[in-house]
Structure 1
Amino acid sequence: MKTNFYFIIFLLILGCSKPQPRRPINPKASTTIFQDNIETAKKMAKYEDEKILDFIRKDSLKVYQNSSNGFWYTYKNKNLTDTISPKTGDVVEIEYDIRDLNDSIIYSKEELGVKTYRVDKEDFISGIQKGIKLMKIGETITFVIPSYNAFGITGDGNKIEMNKTIKSNVKLINIK
């Protein structure tokens, strides 16, 4: 009986101890993989930016501006009289196409149709979302958008490949 009592006390003491958390076998492996991914992404972005700058140098008839939002743009048709630009929450109507840097059409404006878009309230191509806020009614701007501001590393699952820089001619038809 005494042995059973000591055995029960031993089990209670053992059962009251705090569980020890499991430690990773190799704690640096995930950090190393994460760092490698960051370095790869930086190299890809640098390569893509170099491709865009090369394209801009070759297109010497146009003056491209670098946006602080990570894309380049040039005016095809500038509205010099109007001062109103879309702001967050406005509903705009745009006409646009999507091309590659060789000017081959990926999606034509006829294929895409007129798009009604609520500024900053809907999911849309990031570079165009930000670029629309630079526009005035009647203007047409050509945007050169790196993949990280367009369709990213996955593409669109249809015609736009992985890590594809796009060019888009966008016309602002109306602001509501």
Structure 2
Amino acid sequence: MRGSDGVPDVDEPGAGAGPRPGEAAGLRPGGLVVGVGLRPSTAPAEVLGLIRRTLAEAGLPGTSVVRLATLAGKAGHPAVRRAAAGLGTDVDEHPAEVLAGVAVPHPSAAVAAAVGSVSVAEAAALASAPGGELVVPKRKSAAATVAVVRVPGGPADAPASGPARPDPLPAHPAPAPAPAPAPAVGDLP
């Protein structure tokens, strides 16, 4: 089936083109949007694996993912299609000009040279969830990058009555602190 723009829709369930940039139709408040950047050579399983590892490390359920978001022209990439199908969600595509206008905490000169925007994963996720919170900054594998944004307006935005939400993961996790040295024999009581 062809969309209104004449481009064929993808044939895998849940891997459609989704709303146009700036539309938030169908986004569940408090849900997660995962931004995806990738190289043309990215293997089909790499993006889904990176998303699952990233969500697990952040303690976020995969069932909360309501949308993937990426650079225009990438929704048909086999790795993006497989990730969308595996998560049962649609994909938003954003032109480089739109992504270039999104402020991100971790810009990349290399990405800017390649696609015309200093970010794909963080910028695409933020563009698909206007006003959302970047809860996991970009995470990289060999040929892909993902970032996670929480859609505003959900339970996560309400004042916490129980334990506080964990802080967003840093862009590059800090190493674990070294254990404290054991007391010297002369220091014991």
TM-score by length of 1: 0.27
Larger proportion of strand? 1
Larger proportion of helix? 1
Larger radius of gyration: 1
